[in-house]
C-alpha cells in the first residue's frame, strides 16, 4: 500500500522554515539536496543565485515524513502562495502502482508533470486533482 506524506513548497524559505520546525520539534533531517546538485542542462542553465536553494528536503517527524522544496522562477514552478504551497506526496511500492494511482487521482484534473524516470533514480510525476488538491507521486527504483 502506498504511503502519504506532506510536501511543502516555498519561494525561498524552505531551509529557514525546516530549521524552525526542527528547532521546535527536534530530530534531524534525513536528506537535503540543493538545485546546484542537479545535472546541468545546457538548454536551460541554472542561474548561480538559485544553486543553493533547496531542491528536496526530508524531515522525519511524528511518524511521517515532512518534505519540501523551494520554487525556481521560470523553471516550470506554478504560482506558489500561502494556502496552496503544499502537496500530498505518495510513496508508491511499484511503478505499476504509481501509474494506477496517478491515472485514477488525476482523472478530471490537470497533469503538471507527467510520470517519468528521473535523475535521482525514481519514477515521478505531479498533478492537480479535480478538487484543486496538488499531488505528487514517487516510486524509488531498487538500488543495487
pLDDT per residue as tens digits for the range 64-94 = 899 999 987 765 555 555 556 788 999 999 9
In CATH terms, the fold of domain 3-140 is: 2,3-Dihydroxybiphenyl 1,2-Dioxygenase; domain 1 (3.10.180)
Mean pLDDT of the chain: 87
pLDDT at 143 > cutoff 60: yes
Angle at 45 between CA 43 and CA 50, to 5 degrees: 150
- Give pTM, 2 decimals: 0.72
Q: How do residues 1-11 score in pLDDT, each as one tens digit?
A: 788 899 988 88
DSSP for 56-106 reads EEEEEETTEEEEEEE--TTTT-----TTS-EEEEEE-SSHHHHHHHHHHHT
Q: In this predicted structure, what is the pLDDT of residue 78?
A: 53
Amino acid at each position: 500500500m502506498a504511503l502519504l506524506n506532506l510536501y511543502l513548497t516555498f519561494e525561498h524559505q524552505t531551509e529557514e522554515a525546516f530549521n524552525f520546525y526542527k528547532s521546535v520539534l527536534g530530530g534531524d533531517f534525513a536528506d537535503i539536496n540543493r538545485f546546484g546538485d542537479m545535472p546541468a542542462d545546457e538548454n536551460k542553465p541554472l542561474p548561480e543565485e538559485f544553486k543553493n536553494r533547496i531542491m528536496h528536503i526530508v524531515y522525519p517527524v511524528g511518524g511521517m515524513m515532512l518534505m519540501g522544496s523551494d520554487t525556481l522562477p521560470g523553471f516550470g514552478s506554478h504560482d506558489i502562495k500561502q494556502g496552496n504551497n503544499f502537496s500530498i506526496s505518495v510513496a508508491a511500492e511499484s511503478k505499476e502502482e504509481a501509474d494506477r494511482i496517478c491515472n485514477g487521482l488525476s482523472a478530471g484534473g490537470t497533469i503538471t508533470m507527467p510520470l517519468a524516470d528521473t535523475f535521482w533514480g525514481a519514477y515521478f510525476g505531479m498533478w492537480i486533482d479535480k478538487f484543486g488538491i496538488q499531488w505528487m507521486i514517487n516510486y524509488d527504483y531498487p538500488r543495487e
